């Protein structure tokens, strides 16, 4: 199985997974780059996975369905381009011979889902949409800080080797904020240097991994004194897990 981030718009990635013949794509906001990748690879699109309703993740679904006949899967609780198979937390689907578990991860949107899959002889893969970014997390457009904290904690509990396939190339900007929170974090410093080299070469910084994110992502580290104390210097009333997370997200929004 080959995992490919297809660039779209300014900073989106449409993830493609294929076996050399059959392919799935995740969150195709634009059909054109997907159709081009299919043609270049001689691939047949069988499946479209959608994590949430925002147009930069769904805008290409109808055109791809019409062009390829691909089957569409998406969240049960959000408005989606019909027809599709709607998925709830804990559902398991089989696509390309792989099993993907559906995780309900509200916060960025109310019904956001993620897809966690085991790939034979490879590390697991997580398609997390806009819930988790490398060194960051999505804005809280519809959900609460408590919901997003629960969602991120759930993702952080996945196997360390899991490949984290975020839907945006936000890594460098997220790292700038993360270093403002934890300026002495050596893992952050090393990751920033590596990510900068990749972007200078016009290469993606993704996928990340759960192991790396637990070392560098402040939104997965709010339980640690180094993060909590930094947040409390910004918001003295941040005293429990949820208020620390909420204050951290507000700090990032204003950064």
Whether 56 sits among the annotated catalytic residues: the reply is yes
The answer to whether residue 57 is catalytic is: yes
Task: Give the start-end residues of each E strand in 50-189.
Answer: 71-75, 85-87, 92-95, 98-104, 113-117, 125-129, 132-133, 136-137, 163-166
> Catalytic one among 18, 52, 53, 112?
52
Tell me how far CA of residue 75 lies from CA of 54, 80, 82, 86, in angstroms.
Answer: 12, 8, 12, 5
Catalytic residue among 108, 123, 184, 240: 108
Largest CA distance in the chain: 57
Radius of gyration of the chain (CA): 18
- Residue 108 a catalytic site member: yes
CB of 169 closer than 8 Å to CB of 10 = no
- Distance, in Å, from the CA atom of 174 to the CA atom of 134, rounded to the nearest integer, reads 7
Catalytic (active site) residue 53: no
Burial of 168 (0-12, 13-18, 19+ CB in 10 A): buried
**Rounded to whole angstroms, how far apart are CA atoms 133 and 105?**
13
Annotated active-site residue in 30, 53, 56, 112: 56
Write down the catalytic residue from 54, 223, 229, 253. 54
Q: How many CA atoms lie within 13 A of 154 on its CB side?
A: 22
Whose CA is closest to 206, among 170, 173, 158, 161? 170
Q: Which is the catalytic residue, given 168, 184, 223, 240?
A: 168
**Catalytic residue at 168?**
yes
Tell me, yes or no, if 130 is annotated catalytic: yes
* Of 126, 105, 120, nearest in space to 49 by CA: 126
Active site amino acids:
52, 54, 56-57, 108, 130, 168
């Amino acid at each position: 199985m080959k995992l490919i981030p297809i660039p779209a718009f300014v900073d989106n990635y449409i993830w493609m997974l294929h076996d050399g013949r059959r392919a799935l794509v995740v969150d195709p906001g634009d059909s054109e780059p997907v159709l081009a990748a299919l043609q270049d690879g001689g691939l047949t699109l069988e499946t479209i996975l959608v994590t949430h309703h925002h147009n930069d993740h769904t805008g290409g679904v109808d055109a791809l369905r019409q062009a390829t006949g691909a089957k569409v899967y998406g969240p049960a609780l959000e408005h989606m381009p019909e027809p599709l198979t709607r998925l709830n937390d804990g559902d398991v689907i089989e696509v390309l011979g792989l099993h993907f578990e559906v995780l309900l991860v509200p916060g960025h949107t109310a019904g956001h889902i993620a897809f966690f899959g085991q790939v034979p002889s490879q590390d697991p893969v997580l398609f997390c949409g806009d819930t988790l970014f490398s060194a960051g997390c999505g804005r809280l457009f519809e959900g609460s800080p408590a919901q997003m904290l629960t969602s991120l904690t759930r993702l952080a509990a996945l196997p360390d080797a899991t490949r984290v396939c975020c839907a945006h190339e936000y890594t460098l900007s997220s790292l700038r904020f993360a270093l403002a929170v934890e300026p002495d974090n050596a893992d952050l410093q090393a990751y920033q240097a590596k990510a900068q080299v990749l972007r200078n070469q016009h290469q993606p910084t993704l996928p990340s991994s759960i192991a790396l994110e637990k070392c560098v992502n402040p939104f997965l580290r709010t339980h640690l004194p180094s993060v909590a104390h930094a947040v409390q210097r910004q918001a003295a009333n941040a005293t429990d897990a949820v208020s620390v997370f909420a204050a951290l997200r507000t700090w990032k929004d204003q950064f």
